[in-house]
Structure formats: C-alpha cells, structure tokens
C-alpha cells in the first residue's frame, strides 16, 4: 500500500503542535505519552479508519479506543484536525464546562468511542466492540492503543485472553512502547517485557515496528488485516515526548505542562509559529 | 400462593422470554451460568451467550463495549464479584459513560448460606447506589422479578439488579401492577410502616400479620427500586404513620435503611428503625439459621415495630 508520507508527516506535526498548545493552555496534562502516540493516531485517522466526522455514530464504522486515556490531547488533536469539532475548541482542554475532559468522555465528544482514563479498561471495552462486530457480521474494525506501563494492569491480560478465545481478528491493538511511566523506566517500576512473547502466549499475532515510521505503521496495519482468527498486536517502539527535544525520553514530562517559554520552543521545533 | 421460587431462577426464566422478544439482547456470565441461571438463555440462544471465564472485571468491560455497539447486555455473576471485584470497571466503563448494561447479580446477601462471608455480599446496594445514573433494583419474589426485569430491559442505561440464591415465597399475583421506581403498597396499615426490599418483604408481611393480632396496624411497602427512590411513598409513610422500620438483607450502612433515613431527615423528620446486617461480615450456616443469627426474620421486624410503638406511646 502506498501512503502519502509527506501529508502524514505534516499532519503529525500539526497534531503535535495541537498537543503542546492544549496542555500549555490547560496548565496540566500528559505531553510525553501524547507525543509518543501522535504518529500512530495520525496514521489511523488520516490513512486508515473508515470514519465520517459528519456521521460519527454510523454503525458500520471503524472504532478506536484510547486505552491509555491520559494521551487524550493526542486523540482530541486528531479528532479536531479530522473535522469532528473546531480546532479552536482544543484550547478548552481540562477547563470547567469543556467537553474536552482530562480523559476521554464518550458522552460529550463526537468521535470518541469509549470513555477511558482508568488503565486497562479501554482494551476490555474494545474486546466487547470487536465481539459485537463478530455477532453482527460487521465489516468494521476495532483499533485500540495501550501504554506499556498499562500492561501492568491485570485487566489487560483478562482482555487479551478473551480476545484470542473469541478469535477476534477484527481487533488490532497497538502498544505505545516508549519504555517510561510516571515513576521512571518500566523495568525499574515493574518489568513488562517480553511484551511480544506475552501476547503470543495469549494467542495474538504480534508485529514489532518503529512507531514513528509511517511506512512501518502502514505495513503492519495492512498485514494485521490479513490475519484470520486471531487478534493482532502491533508493538510500536516509540520515544516518549517525540518531536520536542527537551521532552524526549524524559519520564518527568509524563504529566507536566510546559511553561510559555517551553511551549514556544516546542512549537517552533515542530515547525509551527508561537 | 405458597409457591416458592428464587429470584435468580425467575431471572433465568425471564431472560429466555426476553431473548425471544429482543434479538439485540446479549448475555455474559463469568463461569457461573448454572448458578446465576443464565444457562437457560445459553441453551436457547447459544450465539448470543458469551462466557467471560472467571474474569469479572473483563466481563464488565466487554459488556460496555457491546453496549456501545448497540447491544442490550445482561452481565451476571455473584453480587460479591460484580459489585465488589468489578466495582471500578462498573463505575468507569459502565456508569460514567452510561452504558446500556444490566448487571444482574445473584447470591446477594447472607442467605447464600454455607459458602460463608467471602461470598455473602451485604455491601452491593451501597456500592451501586452511589454511582450517578445507576438504577438499582432488588425484587422480592418471582413475579416482581419478571415484571421489573421487563422494564429494566426496556430502559436505556445501566441497571444493577440484586437477586437471591434462596427459594422464597411468591408474594404477588400475576395481576399486581408493578412499576420500576414506585414502591408497592404490599399491605395497608395505619400505625407504623415497614419499608422492605428483597426477601425481607415476605418477612415484613408475616410480621404485619402477627402484629395485627396484637392490635398494631402495619403498612408494608416493597421498595424494590432503591434508585431512583420513591420519595413520595416514604413521605406519605412518615406523615400518615407513626414511625418507619426498614428491613433489608444488606448492611444498614449505605443500603435501604440509610436511603430512607436520608429522605426522612430531609423532608419529614420521623423515627426510623433499621433491621439489617449491623456492620458485620456474614458466616457459614444454613440460610434460616443465618437469618436468625443476623436478626433478619419476621420476628425481628415485629420486635423492632413493638419497640418503636412502645417508645412512641
């Protein structure tokens, strides 16, 4: 499959700028894990998923569940850029009365398929959605994005077991493998590796890719669609804080807002104007 | 009217009927289908029944996903593992996004019997009632279970239905009008009102019978819907009778007694006595022995009414 790499890279830069602007305006939020997930989300919404911002609830649509709900600014950015709601609304993130809650709220935000934020729960709901597609013979696919730290939640493995038990080949889950969580490196907090072998042992098809390379993301998503009888895991090696020099690979930027000076530098590094 | 049926059996029977009427009904269970009685649905509609295995948290998460794909989901396990173990998944994935999931939890209360405290949930009504938008229902008998479940199935949103293991007497005629959110006036009376739910409704009716012979007239309200609560029926009881006695097979903390007392305190201060589990865990024993040990019998209700009556003379 051929992809328009320039278009996707330009869009991903916009999404990253949106992320920085949102979190700076909110004064709190999670930039590190939003930036690491930005390319995967950009690919799904701008090159892959059958969704229609004019008809967000269409039954036979592809669905996306942000299981690592704290990356909400990345999801809100792609939804706004896709046309689900005005880009200007992004600056209301985390403010009283805004639909853009700190973590995704499906009741109020068009295009959000599941309310998430409590780790482990999104993938479980995604399994239910994929199961519904099977029951209905629907052509829709279900995508989910998990964090690597999130894999420490037992519920993830209950869901992983169920997805393979039911043979949910319409479910593709990404792990945003940036290696860092709030308290530090995954292996210092609670070892999650080997992630690939764990999912294989649970009956999943597993691919490992560079989560910032659109060609690799595209190839993995295409291959996943050909897998029959199994859910698919795309283990995406990523860089926490990707695209902003002073945030990259810094656990300290998991859940902290940039100052005005830092936000300006970040936006400029991403090719935007402050 | 001496027939006995457990509310879990009535649930299983009703589910089979509902399955024939609504093809969007999906049933999930967590390896307890022969106990929760969802096995009948599984046999009738194998394509619409899914065993989640012994993984209640994931069952609730999947239920939410199915609901947001247009299904009416009934998810069953024991009350302890539904309201207890899966609490936060129910709160965040079902309650917060208002998913159309009916959590039908069986083996609630101490009358689970011999399995003991680990399986005797006396906290579930409290846990479920505190979730915004959650409808909470606890039927008294087989007839009301079916009538209420039909309304629960038609409601778009999350519902917790508390069901029992023990076979209990049928209290109502098939012709009794039963409406979700409206207390049933199970017996008229003028001196005191017993407000009960679940199997305590039958105990309350027996207590009222005994007290009638002693010259105390007792009104019995079946408060099968704990949320939204029928406040007007409570206010009428508080203003038309001398005191209120609540009766539940649940902790007196956070359950029916607390809910009734809250209405009474706000709207019509009146004495409220509470028959229920007094901040204790359950234990192994035969259901009837446990009802005596935990003071949940008709005689215990009658004693509470007598005490209130003596105090208020």
B64, A125: Cβ pair inside 8 Å?
A: yes
Of B63, B92, B97, the CB nearest to A128: B63
pLDDT band of A1, cuts 50, 70, 90 = low
Q: What is the pLDDT of residue B96?
A: 98
Chain B: closest CA distance from residue A59 (Å): 8
Q: What is the pLDDT of residue A59?
A: 87
Residues of B serving a catalytic function are 56
Using an 8 Å CB-CB cutoff, list chain A residues near B50.
131, 166
B70, A59: Cβ pair inside 8 Å?
A: yes
Q: Is the pLDDT of residue A11 over 70?
A: yes
Q: What is the pLDDT of residue B2?
A: 55
B61, A117: Cβ pair inside 8 Å?
A: no
* pLDDT (mean) for A76-97: 98
A161, B62: Cβ pair inside 8 Å?
A: no
Q: What is the pLDDT of residue B1?
A: 47
Q: What is the pLDDT of residue A2?
A: 79
Of B58, B70, B97, the CB nearest to A132: B70
The domains of chain A are located at 5-269
Mean residue pLDDT across chain A: 97
* pLDDT (mean) for A53-59: 94
CA dist list (Å): B42 to A28, B13, B161: 48, 12, 19
State which residue of chain A sits closest to B68, comparing Cα positions. Answer: A129
- What is the C-alpha to C-alpha distance for residues A184 and A187, in angstroms, rounded to an integer? 8
Q: Could you give the domains of chain B?
A: 4-169 (3.40.50.970), 184-311 (3.40.50.920)
Per-residue b/e over A239-274, b at no fewer than 16 CB within 10 Å? bbbbbbeebbeebebbebbbeeebbbbbbebbebee
Show which residues on chain A lie within 8 Å of chain B, measured between beta carbons. 59, 65, 105-107, 113-115, 117-118, 120-121, 123-133, 135-136, 154-155, 158-159, 161-162, 165-166
Using an 8 Å CB-CB cutoff, list chain B residues near A126.
65
Q: What is the pLDDT of residue A18?
A: 98
Q: Is the pLDDT of residue A168 over 50?
A: yes
* CATH classification code of A5-269: 3.40.50.970
> pLDDT tens digits for chain B (313 residues)?
459 999 999 999 999 999 999 999 999 999 999 999 999 999 999 999 999 999 999 999 999 999 999 999 999 999 999 999 999 999 999 999 999 999 999 999 999 999 999 999 999 999 999 999 999 999 999 999 999 999 999 999 999 999 999 999 999 999 999 999 999 999 999 999 999 999 999 999 999 999 999 999 999 999 999 999 999 999 999 999 999 999 999 999 999 999 999 999 999 999 999 999 999 999 999 999 999 999 999 999 999 999 999 998 8
């Amino acid at each position: 499959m051929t992809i328009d790499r320039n278009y996707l890279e330009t869009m991903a830069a916009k999404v990253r700028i949106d992320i920085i602007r949102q979190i700076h305006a909110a004064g709190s939020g999670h930039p590190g894990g939003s930036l690491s997930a930005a390319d995967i989300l950009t690919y799904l919404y701008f090159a892959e998923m059958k969704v229609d911002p004019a008809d967000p609830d269409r039954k036979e649509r592809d669905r996306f569940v942000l299981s690592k709900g704290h990356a909400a600014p990345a999801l809100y950015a792609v939804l706004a850029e896709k046309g689900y709601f005005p880009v200007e609304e992004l600056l209301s993130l985390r403010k009283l009365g805004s639909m853009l809650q700190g973590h995704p709220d499906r009741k109020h935000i068009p295009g959000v398929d599941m309310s998430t934020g409590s780790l482990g729960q999104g993938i479980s709901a995604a399994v239910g959605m994929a199961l519904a597609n099977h029951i209905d013979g629907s052509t829709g696919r279900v995508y989910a994005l998990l964090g690597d730290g999130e894999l420490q939640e037992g519920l993830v493995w209950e869901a992983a077991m169920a997805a393979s038990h039911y043979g949910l080949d319409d479910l593709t889950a990404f792990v945003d493998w940036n290696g860092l969580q709030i308290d530090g490196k995954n292996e210092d907090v609670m070892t999650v590796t080997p992630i690939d072998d764990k999912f294989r042992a649970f009956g999943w098809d597993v691919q490992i890719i560079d989560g910032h390379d659109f060609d690799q993301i595209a190839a993995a998503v295409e291959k996943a669609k050909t897998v029959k009888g199994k859910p698919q895991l795309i283990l995406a090696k990523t860089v926490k804080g990707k695209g902003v020099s002073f945030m990259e690979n810094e656990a300290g930027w998991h859940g902290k807002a940039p100052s005005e000076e830092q936000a300006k530098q970040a936006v400029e590094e991403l090719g935007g104007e402050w | 009217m001496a027939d006995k049926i457990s509310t879990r059996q009535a649930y299983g029977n009703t589910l089979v009927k509902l399955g024939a009427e609504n093809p969007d009904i999906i049933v999930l269970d967590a390896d307890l289908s022969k106990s929760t009685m969802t096995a009948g649905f599984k046999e009738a509609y194998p394509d619409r029944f899914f065993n989640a295995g012994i993984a209640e948290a994931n069952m609730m998460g999947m239920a939410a996903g199915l609901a947001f794909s247009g299904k009416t989901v009934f998810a069953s396990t024991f009350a302890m593992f539904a309201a207890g173990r899966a609490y936060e998944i129910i709160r965040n994935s079902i309650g917060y996004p208002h998913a159309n999931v009916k959590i039908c939890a069986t083996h609630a209360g101490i009358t689970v019997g011999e399995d003991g405290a680990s399986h005797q949930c006396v906290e579930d009504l409290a846990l479920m009632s505190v979730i915004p938008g959650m409808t909470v229902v606890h039927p008294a008998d087989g007839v009301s279970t079916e009538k209420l479940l039909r309304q629960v199935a038609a409601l778009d949103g999350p519902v917790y239905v508390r069901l029992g293991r023990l076979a209990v007497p049928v209290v109502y005629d098939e012709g009794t009008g039963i409406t979700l959110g409206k207390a049933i006036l199970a017996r008229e009376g003028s001196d005191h009102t017993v407000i009960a739910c679940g199997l305590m409704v039958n105990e309350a009716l027996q207590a009222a019978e005994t007290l009638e012979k002693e010259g105390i007239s007792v009104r019995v309200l079946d408060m099968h819907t704990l949320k939204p609560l029928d406040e007007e029926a409570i206010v009428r009881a508080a203003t038309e009778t001398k005191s209120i006695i609540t009766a539940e097979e649940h902790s007196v903390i956070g359950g029916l007694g607390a809910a009734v007392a809250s209405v009474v305190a706000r709207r019509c201060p009146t004495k409220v006595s509470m028959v229920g589990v007094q901040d204790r865990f359950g234990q192994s024993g035969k259901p009837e022995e446990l009802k005596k040990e935990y003071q949940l019998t008709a005689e215990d209700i009658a004693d509470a009414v007598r005490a209130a009556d003596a105090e208020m003379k």
